[in-house]
Amino acid sequence: MYQATLSRRSYRFNDLRQLLAKASPARSGDYLAEVAADSAEERMAARIALADVPLKTFLQQLLVPYEHDEVTRLIVDSHDALAFAPISHLTVGDFRDWLLSEQADSAMLARVAAGITPEMAAAVSKLMRNQDLILVAKKCRVITRFRNTLGLPGRLSVRLQPNHPTDSLQGIAASMLDGLLYGCGDAVVGINPASDSLPLLEKLNYMLDDVIQRFAIPTQSCVLTHVTNTLRLMERGVPVDLVFQSIAGTEAANQGFGINLALLAEAQQAALSLNRGTLGNNVMYFETGQGSCLSSNAHHGVDQQTCEARAYAVARHFSPLLINTVVGFIGPEYLYDGKQIIRAGLEDHFCGKLLGLPLGCDVCYTNHAEADQDDMDTLLTLLATAGLTFLIGVPGADDIMLNYQSTSFHDALYIRELLGLKHAPEFADWLTKMQITDERGQLRDTAANHPLLLALQGEKR
């Protein structure tokens, strides 16, 4: 039992699960799940009570039963007590103050990351203002490598997303070329296929590999199909760089995705055996998003932001090259408007970085949400200020296959110019060599005889 008194009224919370849910900022998904605070006053009372909870409590009182959930078992069994030691005496409120202090610099945050559980990260985020989430995330440094180096300070990468509603190779190639000529693609060239046909998935992988190899582009490709399809492709000798999978924060929700930890481990080992990375062996790419556990009725009464943080424990176990939250993609049933999407994006980025993950974000919304591109401009600017690892680049910001609104190649130009952010270093050198950018990293005017343009014309013929 937890309790706090506010305005002469005593509020009681039955357990840690309820306390976390009531302390969470208001969002439509928690109201849908009937776990949200009934009033702003109850929410504040929950935060007051939560601030006094020792961090050690999260190791003793589990939100989802150990015996029923492999994600809980992963969190408990992989907890690093040595890394936890420097902060083990703190309460959630003390933890917030410590994270904001000069003592918690980048090196210290890296040392304690393995000792922080997702529930601890979620709990402290509920006590933080937006500026707190930004400041702490900015201090977290997470660097990963495959064919280039991602996550270095002062750099921001872009996933080039050349989706097409009919998986037209020519249409995908045109969008891919467009993105490369705008300097996008250093995070990954990643296609969401409209079809799960293995022959088509093969063609997409071979096309991406051909372009990357032909022009010696220091990046990686990924066809974002189900992990079982990727395993079958690797068995057939298809050139797979990264293994993709959507993941969630409970075993039951992951079962809804058709996966478990053993399957992810099998796929990781298969990808590692291909030895396709030139600089590193981070071979996994994960996507998450608040609301996925609730949408599959697999949340166990846990609020959606805490469930999201638990998904990061799954990702952390597999040392991914990339992970991003598709923050506004699931819809207004879970994040109703621009305000809720902005807050959720900052929470996700903070929790992921705090747990030691290379967090990126699909700054996005669906067309039936109470949000617009101005809201996305705000979130993009805040996340980039907070040290975002990568964002998504879609032609015109309008994904014509998935039918949602994201960020464009031009948005990447805006945020780089605004904050002086650079590409991944190896990719930046390639852009200069290909005369796409000048020595200062500024875009050049592309000549009609540029080799990438000529290559696309050859593909069309």
| 269-294 pLDDT per residue, tens | 999 999 999 999 999 999 999 999 99
Alpha-carbon distances, residue 348 vs 109, 295, 310, 325 (angstroms): 17, 18, 11, 7
Comparing C-alpha atoms, which of 88, 61, 85 is closest to residue 75? 61
C-alpha–C-alpha distance, residues 14 and 93, integer Å: 20
Q: Which residues does 144 contact at the CB level (< 8 Å), separation at least 6?
A: 150, 151, 280, 282, 319, 320, 321, 322, 358
What's the confidence (pLDDT) of residue 460? 53
Q: Which residues of the chain have pLDDT under 70?
A: 447, 456-461
What's the confidence (pLDDT) of residue 106? 98
* Strands annotated E in 148-278: 149-150, 157-160, 188-191, 221-223, 243-246
What's the confidence (pLDDT) of residue 8? 87
Question: At 3, is the secondary structure helix, strand, or coil?
Answer: strand
| φ, ψ (nearest 5 deg) of residue 224 | -85, 70
Alpha-carbon distances, residue 285 vs 54, 311, 337, 396 (angstroms): 34, 13, 28, 24
Comparing C-alpha atoms, which of 197, 317, 192 is closest to residue 260? 317
Find the helix or strand (DSSP H, E) in which 315 lies. helix 304-317
Alpha-carbon distances, residue 198 vs 162, 263, 273 (angstroms): 19, 19, 21
What's the confidence (pLDDT) of residue 454? 81
Q: Which two tokens stand for residue 123?
A: 């709990």
Q: What is the pTM of this model?
A: 0.96
Q: What is the Cα gyration radius of the chain? A: 22
What's the confidence (pLDDT) of residue 459? 58
Helix and strand element counts for the chain (H, E): 22, 14
